[in-house]
Amino acid sequence: MVSLTVSIPLALSTLAQQRGRTLAFLPCPLAKDRRPRIKEPRLFYSSATSPKGYISSIDVDEDAPRDVQTFEEWAYNYGAQRSDGFQLVSDDGMDVYAATSQDLPTGTPVVFVPEHMILSSTKAMSELRTPEMNGAEKVVLSVNAESEMRHYYIMLKLLVEIEKGEQSDWYPWLNSLPRYYTNAASMTPFCCLCLPSLMRKLAVKERGNMSRLSVGSIKS
């Protein structure tokens, strides 16, 4: 059975030298050249449907700080292990990348993530797929998104955990994530036109998957 997972990468494929460190993941060269935008009040996610007692206030502003240190402590306490020299590095407090302070042979495992820390679609469906979800699944089927059912449940699981706020077991991880993305789902149609043909095909497909599971698509 195919299972979509959200976890720390288990392998690094490309190594490069920069400032005496071996960089495993390089930040995008344009990461700091973010799109121009008007300064707006800071945005917070809070749920009006959260059960009493939930404190759900997550700053989703593009420039919100990422609490990576707490995430690392949380991961360590829950059993995640990493090879000697592996570290998460940030030059500006926004973009975070993996690096090693020593050379690692090709194929060296750099991070071990225990099974109970892997957030997967299989686990999400096992937890959330109840008879009460039949109506929601029918709506997903109505927009021809049957192949994205697993994506739907992993998205639903993430929203459930975000709604819990600080009471979520996943909060340290959620609060360490970037608020600004430059992946296919966040691209405009014009951005897609600027991509090479294969990348454009994959980006358009991913945007289509997201659109079919969006509130606007389901309402229409």
Domains held by the chain: number: 1
Name the token pair of 133.
């979800």
**What would you report as the CA-atom Rg of the chain, rounded to the nearest whole angstrom?**
19
For residue 57, what are the domain limits?
7-180
pLDDT digits (tens, 9 = 90+) for 1-55: 444 444 333 222 222 333 333 333 333 333 344 444 434 434 344 444 444 444 4
- Among residues 16, 26, 25, 22, the alpha carbon closest in space to that of 103 is found at 22
- Asked whether residue 55 is domain-assigned, the answer is yes
- Among residues 116, 120, 146, 132, the alpha carbon closest in space to that of 213 is found at 146
pLDDT digits (tens, 9 = 90+) for 89-119: 988 767 889 999 999 888 999 999 999 999 9
- Asked whether residue 201 is domain-assigned, the answer is no
- Asked whether residue 188 is domain-assigned, the answer is no
DSSP 113: -
What are the distances in angstroms from CA 72 to CA 126, 132, 168?
A: 28, 36, 16
β 81-82/111-112 pair status: antiparallel
| Whole-angstrom distance, CA of residue 115 vs CA of residue 211 | 31
Mapped onto helix, strand or coil, the DSSP state of residue 165 is strand
pLDDT digits (tens, 9 = 90+) for 147-178: 889 999 999 999 899 888 888 999 999 999 98
pTM check: above 0.75: no
- Asked whether residue 78 is domain-assigned, the answer is yes
- Asked whether residue 186 is domain-assigned, the answer is no
